[in-house]
């Protein structure tokens, strides 16, 4: 389809702004000489343009979206309604505190809820996304250790199954990232962990359930060992959906956590963001928390040894309202029931698929499971990518591909709790049909997708000859 610039006709446009009711006066400073080639387009044409774009996108509302590790659950409509109330949208972040009592009440209440769910003592909503939450948590660890004079503790241990953000965040926080091996069951290899713990250990970052969808059964040993070595334990909350209300990270030895409200707490992903990545900690780390908070409705205060600020104001406030709405709706019984059904749905699919799609680790999984196409790849030359693309022709968003890195030809499936049994049965049917096709006519699978707006795209060309903006034909 055409780009919006190709639909632009000089002189067209929309009337938004009034005639100036004061004398025209421009700054006595150099003005721009170039004319920005923004689109000139009527509202009708623009609306149709974006409707066409929407038809070429796939959201949770378009169909099953079992994208492992991303928790693509239903995004309740009430969340959106509450986050667009004028009393939240039309308030300035620098209004006097007594005029934003409601906004600060939400922040305080949500902090209480999330502390209860995680077992932590304090939470900052400064981080705009999970990765920034990780960075924040690591800075808390760094500030705390430096405060104690333990400057030599500069290593963060990260399992080889971890999300890429973990080692990247460790580097950004000035730590050296040390990779810990997984054992034959996909869990932290305790011997490898022990061999890397020592006087340089600042901490361990762990996702639990881990990225192969398994709850690490040695978790109490792991956190104890790290603490005995003088390090802190960081909980990557990416997979909190599997255990909320069942296990509280603080109770099992974690000192710091970030949550992805856009995963666990049902706020929409928006095609990549905005998310919200609040960071929680135990009380001994709270003096280092970033940002300003207003708990009494009167004054903003900053923690005494605050690491500073991660975002300009109070993080992605409207996203936090959506999460608040969600927790208020679910309540104390609803929260654990989310985890239970997320785990049930994943096991249901795993059980119905594992006879033909070997699972990486054949045991009860948590909210997601990983299948490996390695054998099929060897026999039929059909890769995880091919299967993913074949799913596109069935109106289904594929699972996460080639992650975690410790499983070859991986597809990671996370159905979430908001899918019905029929949806799961349909998806299982699709997976089985594709398997049949792999056996009978693999060339069709290899040539998929065929029904999508575009066919497979040349990513090599995109990277070798980067074209990152429209060429107006100069």
Partner 1 sequence: MGIFIPNTTDEQIRMLNDIGYKDFDDLFALIPDEAKFKGNLNIPMGKSEIEVTHTIESIANKNTIFRSIFRGAGAYNHYVPSAVNSISNKEEFLTAYTPYQAEISQGILQSIFEYQTMITELTDMDIANASMYDGASAAAEACAMCKDRKRSTIYVSEAVDKRILEVIKTYSFGRDTTVKVIPETNGITDKDALRKALDDDSSAACFLMQYPNYYGLIEDADTLCKITHDAGAQFIMSVQPLSLGVLKTPGEIGADICVGEGQPLGLGLNFGGPYLGILATTNKNLRKIPGRLIGETVDSAGDRGFVLTLQAREQHIRRDKASSNICSNQALCALKAGLYMATIGPKGLEQVSTLCSSKAHYMAEELSKIGMPLVYEVPFWNEFVTSCPNTDKLLSSLETKGILGGLKLEDGNILWCCTELNTKEDIDTVIAIAKEVF
Partner 2 sequence: MNDPRELMYTKDHEWIYYDGEDAYVGISDFAQQELGDLVFVNLPEVDDEVIAGESFGDVESVKAVSDVLSPVTGIVLEVNEEILEDASLINQDAFSAWFIKVGNITETEDLLTAEEYDRIIEG
d(CA 119, CA 334): 17
Q: Does the footprint of partner 1 cover residue 9 (CB under 8 A)?
A: no
Decide whether 177 or 374 has the Cβ nearer to partner 1: 177
Interacting partner of 108 out of partner 2, partner 1, none (Cβ under 5 to 8 A depending on kind): none
Decide whether 159 or 439 has the Cβ nearer to partner 1: 159
| 322-361 positions binding partner 1, by CB under 8 A | 324-325, 327-338, 340-341, 343-344, 347-348, 351-352
Candidates 148, 298, 421, 436: give the one binding partner 1 (CB under 8 A): 421
Decide whether 440 or 465 has the Cβ nearer to partner 2: 465
| 182-211 positions binding partner 1, by CB under 8 A | none
DSSP, residue by residue, 143-194:
HHHHHTT-TT--EEEEETTS-THHHHHHHHTTPEEEEE-B-TTSSB-HHHHH
**Which one of 116-124, 199-207, 229-237, 370-378 is the stretch in contact with partner 1 (CB under 8 A)?**
116-124
Candidates 121, 150, 168, 200: give the one binding partner 1 (CB under 8 A): 168
> Which distant-in-sequence residues (6+ apart) come within 8 Å of 402 by Cβ?
384, 385, 409, 410
Give the side-chain half-sphere CA count within 13 A for 384.
23
Greatest CA separation found in the chain?
A: 77
Q: Which residues lie near partner 2 (CB under 8 A)?
A: 402, 459-460, 463-464
Candidates 93, 301, 433, 436: give the one binding partner 1 (CB under 8 A): 93
Residue in this structure with the two tokens 């999300």, named with its chain if needed: 163
The least distance separating partner 2 from the CB of residue 463, rounded to whole angstroms, comes to 4
Interacting partner of 274 out of partner 2, partner 1, none (Cβ under 5 to 8 A depending on kind): partner 1
Decide whether 302 or 461 has the Cβ nearer to partner 2: 461
| 126-155 positions binding partner 1, by CB under 8 A | 128-132, 134-135, 138-139, 142-143
> Which distant-in-sequence residues (6+ apart) come within 8 Å of 320 by Cβ?
106, 107, 110, 125, 261, 276, 278
* Cβ pair 258, 120 in contact under 8 A: no
Q: Does the footprint of partner 1 cover residue 27 (CB under 8 A)?
A: yes
d(CA 402, CA 221): 30
Q: Does the footprint of partner 1 cover residue 97 (CB under 8 A)?
A: no
Decide whether 122 or 219 has the Cβ nearer to partner 1: 219
Decide whether 20 or 460 has the Cβ nearer to partner 2: 460
* Cβ pair 265, 322 in contact under 8 A: yes
Interacting partner of 453 out of partner 1, partner 2, none (Cβ under 5 to 8 A depending on kind): partner 1
| 260-289 positions binding partner 1, by CB under 8 A | 260, 262, 266, 268-275, 277
d(CA 372, CA 122): 40
Site string for partner 1, 452-471 (x = CB under 8 A): xxxxxxxx-xxx--xxxxx-
How open is the CA angle 229-172-149, to the nearest 5 degrees? 40
Residue 363's alpha-carbon distances to 68, 121, 138, 395, in angstroms, are: 17, 34, 33, 29
Helix (H, G, I), strand (E, B) or coil at 101: helix
Candidates 203, 315, 404, 415: give the one binding partner 1 (CB under 8 A): 315
């Amino acid at each position: 389809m055409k780009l919006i610039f190709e639909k632009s006709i000089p002189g067209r446009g929309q009337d938004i702004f009034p005639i100036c009711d004061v004398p025209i006066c421009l700054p006595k400073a150099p003005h721009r000489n170039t004319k920005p080639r923004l689109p000139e387009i009527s509202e009708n044409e623009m609306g149709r343009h974006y409707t066409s774009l929407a038809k070429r996108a796939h959201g949770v509302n378009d169909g099953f979206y079992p994208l492992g590790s991303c928790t693509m659950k239903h995004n309740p409509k009430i969340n959106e309604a509450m986050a667009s109330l004028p009393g939240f949208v039309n308030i300035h972040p620098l209004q006097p505190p007594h005029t934003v009592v409601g906004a600060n009440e939400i922040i305080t209440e949500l902090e209480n809820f999330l502390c209860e769910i995680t077992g932590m003592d304090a939470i900052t909503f400064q981080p705009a996304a999970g990765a920034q939450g990780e960075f924040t948590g690591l800075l808390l660890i760094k500030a705390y250790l430096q405060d104690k004079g333990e400057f030599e503790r500069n290593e963060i241990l990260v399992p080889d199954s971890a999300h890429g953000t973990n080692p990247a965040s460790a580097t950004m926080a000035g730590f050296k990232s040390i990779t810990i091996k997984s054992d034959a069951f996909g869990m932290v290899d305790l011997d490898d962990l022990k061999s890397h713990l020592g006087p340089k250990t600042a901490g361990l970052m762990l996702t639990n359930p881990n990225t192969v969808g398994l709850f690490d059964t040695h978790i109490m040993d792991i956190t104890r060992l790290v603490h005995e070595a003088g390090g802190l334990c960081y909980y990557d909350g990416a997979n909190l959906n599997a255990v909320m209300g069942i296990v509280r990270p603080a109770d099992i030895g974690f000192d710091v956590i970030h949550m992805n409200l856009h995963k666990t707490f049902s706020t929409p992903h928006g095609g990549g963001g905005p998310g919200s990545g609040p960071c929680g900690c135990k009380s001994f780390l709270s003096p280092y928390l970033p940002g300003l908070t207003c708990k009494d409705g009167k004054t903003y205060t900053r923690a005494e040894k605050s690491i500073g600020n991660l975002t300009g104001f109070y993080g992605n406030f409207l996203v936090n309202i959506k999460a608040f709405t969600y927790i208020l709706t679910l309540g104390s019984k609803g929260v654990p029931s989310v985890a239970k059904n997320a785990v049930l749905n994943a096991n249901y699919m795993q059980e119905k698929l594992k006879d033909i799609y070997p699972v990486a680790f054949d045991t009860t999984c948590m909210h997601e499971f990983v299948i490996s196409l390695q054998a099929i790849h060897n026999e039929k030359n059909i890769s995880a990518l091919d299967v993913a693309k074949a799913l596109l022709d069935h109106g289904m968003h594929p699972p996460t591909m080639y992650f975690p890195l410790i499983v070859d030809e991986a597809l990671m499936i996370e159905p979430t709790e908001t899918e019905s049994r029929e949806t799961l049965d349909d998806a299982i049917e699709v997976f089985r049909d594709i398997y049949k096709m792999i056996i009978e006519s693999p060339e069709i699978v290899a040539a998929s997708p065929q029904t999508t707006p575009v066919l497979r795209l040349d990513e090599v060309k995109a990277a070798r000859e980067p074209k990152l903006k429209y060429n107006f034909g100069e």
